[in-house]
Amino acid sequence: DLSVSWLGLAMANPLYNASGVMCRSVAELEQVRTSAAAAVITKSCTPQPRTGNPEPRYCATALGSINSMGLPNAGYPYYLDYARSYPYAAGKPLFLSLSGMTLQENLDMLSDLAAAQLPCLPEVNLSCPNLPGKPQLGYDFQACHEALTQMARVYHGPFGVKLPPYFDPVHFARMAAVLNAFPALRFVTCINSIGNGLVIDVDRESVVIKPKDGLGGLGGSYVLPTALANVREFYRLLPGKHVVGCGGINSGREAFMHILAGATAVQIGTCLYEEGEGAFARILDELRALMAHKGYQRLDDFRGKLKTL
């Protein structure tokens, strides 16, 4: 039994897509929804459609991926339409990822979503690293506090945020203090890509993506230990809230690690991009086998129970 119930939602298993992967068009969203995934999240959207950064803007390597997509998306109304027609009764929760270019854009989308009264949940993205000239909001604690204050005024229902990775215990504590001031903030997704890495192709003596002279967000195996540290620390520092794990899950083993670190559910990004939606069933099979081997019946048997030495 891999089921998860949280925030009043029932999921048959803990897996879904990471925002950005297989979720820009209705066709892609439906690919996730009709797969073995137990929930669906949309591509981060802005009020208006965007074409994003110039290509090539994604590249996979043996250890993961680098991307600088630049928020290509079909625009908030497109994803709202999808949310309006979504078959919630089929039991796969829908999350709407919002990533306004300004606080006002996030407030506009959240106000509209509140008025729509849909059973989907917003995941507000505080961490897009790929907009030239725009710092990631998640690294400015004061600005996050202000943004969350204003967002909580216009949106009263449960919501979550997508966080960038942090790398210092003082920063974990400071961000947790900000987040704990908002009771309606019910979940955090850790982590977004490790921003502004550089992958180099030795044969071509070149960068591998065009935007920002090759700098881009890292995903996949490169980021697993950083993701696990963020899941673990926010699990400890945000009592009563949920942590959704994201980063470096390629098999049942990494899904197990995230849940052992405290994740309620987990998202698949790079691996889903590279393998396609069959990744969900494979990872679930592997997670089931690992749990059987260990004698675990349910995720609750080991969630958060990471041992220290």
Residue 47, interface with ligand DHB (CB under 6 A)? no
Comparison of 29 and 287: residue with beta carbon closer to ligand DHB: 29
Q: Are 44 and 20 in contact (CB under 8 A)?
A: yes
Comparison of 69 and 188: residue with beta carbon closer to ligand DHB: 69
Scanning 1-9, 69-77, 174-182, 225-233 for contacts with ligand DHB by CB under 6 A, the matching segment is 69-77
Residue 126, interface with ligand DHB (CB under 6 A)? no
For residues 81 to 120, the per-residue mask of contacts with ligand DHB, x marking binding by CB under 6 A and - elsewhere, is: ------------------x---------------------
Site for ligand DHB in 5-44 (CB under 6 A): 20, 44
Residue 193, interface with ligand DHB (CB under 6 A)? yes
Question: Per the structure block, which two tokens stand in for 200?
Answer: 């180099």
Does the annotation count 190 as an active-site position?
no
Residue 104's CB is within 10 A of a number of other CB atoms, namely 11
- How many residues of this chain bind ligand DHB (CB under 6 A)? 16
Comparison of 50 and 236: residue with beta carbon closer to ligand DHB: 50
Scanning 66-74, 147-155, 253-261, 293-301 for contacts with ligand DHB by CB under 6 A, the matching segment is 66-74
- The only residue of 4, 74, 128, 283 in contact with ligand DHB, by rule CB under 6 A: 128
**CA dist 163 → 47, 93, 149, 152, 176 (Å):** 21, 20, 17, 17, 11
Site for ligand DHB in 208-227 (CB under 6 A): 217
Comparison of 52 and 158: residue with beta carbon closer to ligand DHB: 52
- The only residue of 71, 144, 151, 190 in contact with ligand DHB, by rule CB under 6 A: 71
Comparison of 91 and 132: residue with beta carbon closer to ligand DHB: 132
Query: What DSSP string runs through the chain?
Result: ---EEETTEEESSSEEEPTTSS-SSHHHHHHHHTSS-S-EEPPPB-SS-B--SPSP-EEEETTEEEE-----B--HHHHHHHHHH--GGGS--EEEEE--SSHHHHHHHHHHHHHHT-S-EEEEE-----STT---GGG-HHHHHHHHHHHHHH--S-EEEEEPP--SHHHHHHHHHHHHT-TTEEEEEE---EEEEE-EETTTTEESSSGGGGEEEEEGGGGHHHHHHHHHHHHHHSTTSEEEEES---SHHHHHHHHHTT-SEEEE-HHHHHH-THHHHHHHHHHHHHHHHHT--SGGGTTT-----
Comparison of 124 and 237: residue with beta carbon closer to ligand DHB: 124
Residue 46, interface with ligand DHB (CB under 6 A)? no
CB of 68 to ligand DHB, least distance (A): 6
Scanning 67-75, 87-95, 112-120, 281-289 for contacts with ligand DHB by CB under 6 A, the matching segment is 67-75
Chain positions contacting ligand DHB, by CB under 6 A: 20, 44, 52, 68-71, 99, 125, 127-130, 192-193, 217
By annotation, the residues acting in catalysis are 128
